[in-house]
Chains A and B, each alone.
Chain A
Amino acid sequence: MLTPGRRAAFESAVSANFNDLYRFAYWLSRNRWHAEDVLQESLLRAWRGWAGVREERAVRAWFFTIVRREFYRMRPQFPQGEPQADAIDPAFETDPASSIDMANALRGLADDSREALLMQVLGGFTCAEISAAIGASEGAVMARLTRARQAMRGRLERADLKLARQA
């Protein structure tokens, strides 16, 4: 039997976090259809466990943890490769060329570095919170974040250099 209040609270919590969860799933899987599948399974599991959620402030971390876990659980079922047709064009709020370079840099990151970076930027979590969610030490999370930013910066600088040479 569904309790209307329980469902409304769940919908409200999902709604407050959904966009960031979708983007998290998308950048983990780098495929819009896989992201939707991961999110669907994650919400099913979240709804099943919703009755046990006691701390409202921990809900966002809980949702991100479920999405991450579902992604790694479902990933072996996803076809290999990364068809460009299933990738979403980057938002061109800034310079289009830089956005494309940044999207490529993100795709080129190692899984562990990318997930830490996504949890920090999209989730807004601290290194300690990321460490608790992924089961790595805080030092390892810091190292992954530094590696991710160094790799992105290196890639962007190489792209700028290439552009300058072409000009």
Chain B
Amino acid sequence: MNCIDLRRLVPIDPARIDPEALAHAARCRSCNDFIEATRATEKLLAATLNVPVPEGLARRAVQRAVQRQGISRRYALAAGLALALGTGVIAYRAKDDPRALAGIDFVVYEEAGAILGAKPADPRDLALVAARIGIRLPVNSDDMRYVGTCPFDGGIAHHVVMKTSFGKVTLLLVPGRTIGSRVVAAAHGLEAVVAPARGGCVVIVADSTRSLTRVESSLYPA
């Protein structure tokens, strides 16, 4: 560790300074002053961020969140009943497919936990899985930000987070789960498509149709 390394590393995460950097600072007055100045700025930053939180807001916000879901469920039940009674229609074909919605829910509610809780997998294994289900991976391994496995829709999926020129895209490769045709959904500002493949299916979730289309079109070998 030298002075340049220390001044490059400390501003990245001043709360977790590398022991080697601290050892260097103990011998180098200038670097020690740099660490002290950085710590003083961090203290000021923490104090500035510490804005007062409105009293009782947490309790009110939880109450409203829980109640709103209860109300929407009751409305959904009443609306469903009225629809069935009024029209006699029992079958209702939703635009959003539940399998594609499950992909969006996974990204919104579970993806961060899955990434933090799982042991990342080897991208080479992913290539084998892709070949087995009959798709081509749409990016090279440099563009993959995370590769792992996760529970999904009652089974196990191979989970890929990748960076494309249009933003972040999540792929879930689900071997053995074949579907008849392509299905879609949109929710929470995200769009999802479940694309059929020879030996399973692929769920693609992105925040724009452009990303989705771009990735989907590159899945199938020419």
Contacts and interface: CB of A to CB of B under 8 A. Distances in A.
The answer on A and B forming one complex is yes
Interface string A132-147: 1101110000100110
Contacts of B168: 135
Contacts of B167: 135
Contacts of B62: 10-11, 14, 43, 47
Given A10-B62, A45-B109, A149 B47 contact: no
A91 B13 contact: no
Interface stretch (B38-46, B83-91, B123-131, B192-200): B38-46
Given A132-B116, A136-B163, A66 B11 contact: no
B69 interface: yes
Contacts of B183: none
A4 B20 CA distance: 50
Interface string A29-41: 0001000100110
Interface residues on B, range: 35 or more
A93 B65 contact: no
Contact of A52 (B16, B46, B110, B117): B110
A165 interface: no
Interface of B: 8, 11-16, 38, 41-54, 57-58, 61-62, 64-66, 68-70, 105, 108-113, 115-117, 145-146, 161, 163, 167-168, 188-189
